[in-house]
Amino acid sequence: MPSLKDLKNRISSVKSTQKITKAKQMVAAAKLRRAEERATQARPYTERMEAVLGNLASGAKDNPGAPKLLAGTGKDETHLLIVATADKGLCGGFNSSIVRLAREHIIRLQGEGKTVKIVCVGRKGEEQLKRLYGELIIWKTNFVEVRQIGFAEAHEIAEKVLGMFDAGEFDVATLFFGKFKNVVTQTPTAQQVIPAQAPESARTPDLKGAVYDYEPDEGEILRALLPRYVGVQIFRALLENVASEQAASMTAMDNATRNAGEMIDKLTLQYNRARQAQITKELIEIISGAEAL
């Protein structure tokens, strides 16, 4: 049985931990408000771009002169997985859920005889994937020293991915990230970005029978729009990740704070019982000694 000193030291240690988790919870809550605003503000632009892309691509995809980013390479042999996670931990199962989804895709693709390459955006994803698939990771990046992620970081990643596609290093690229819904819900999401295809949820505007003539033509517009579309999708994923990370961190730290409080209550009760037992023992020894005299 632990001594009173050991119990007292443990209570003090848990109280210190509780102060840290409470402080991290408050920091995550403050960061979440800003991150949620940025992610929410980016969605209308992304959704509108997806709608425009879907409208343009519907008539140009089967055209022999369609851009390569839309039509693809004509093959489905080499897949690039862009796995975007956080750079830091202490955010519950946020990083693990994204990596788990990516692993499921890897297993399925390898089972079909496909070649898989991985790009890790975020340190935690790379740390988890390298244990089993280290040989598949071709490059990695993180934003540990970046105070606020901007489009420049997403554009840099997009340029590298587009350069690899132009060089024929892969046929299909899929982006993995955590989509922010609310404080308690962050959904691991996989979205194909090359060849570009608008998500099924993308809203195509109702033209009410009207026909638009594009100047310049659809193909030229798509050639200018598609590279930006890839960059915008990566930027949206990074913003969603930041909001999801802070929400998961806030929830995890709240749970840790409450668990620490419960542990303090149990240890305090154990300490009081041990102290009471020690006092009782000392009283019995004093009374026994007095009676012996």
Residue in the structure block whose two tokens are 């940025």: 38
- C-alpha 134/C-alpha 128 separation (Å) is 9
Bond into 227 cis (ω within 30): no
Q: Which residues pair with residue 182 across a beta bridge?
A: 185
The counts of H helices and E strands in the chain are: 6, 5
Quick check: 79 and 171 in contact, CB under 8 A? yes
Three-state SS at 138: strand
91 catalytic residue (yes or no) = yes
What are the Cα distances from residue 264, in Å, to 103, 105, 200, 251, 278? 39, 43, 50, 20, 21
One-letter identity of residue 88: K
Three-state SS at 199: coil
Quick check: 229 and 46 in contact, CB under 8 A? no
Q: Which of 11, 14, 91, 252 is catalytic?
A: 91
Angle at 273 (CA atoms; ends 267, 277), nearest 5 degrees: 145
Quick check: 121 and 81 in contact, CB under 8 A? no
Closest by Cα among 46, 13, 31 to 191:
46
- Residue 279 CA to its chain's centroid (Å): 54
Three-state SS at 166: helix
Angle at 163 (CA atoms; ends 134, 62), nearest 5 degrees: 110
Which residues are known catalytic residues?
91
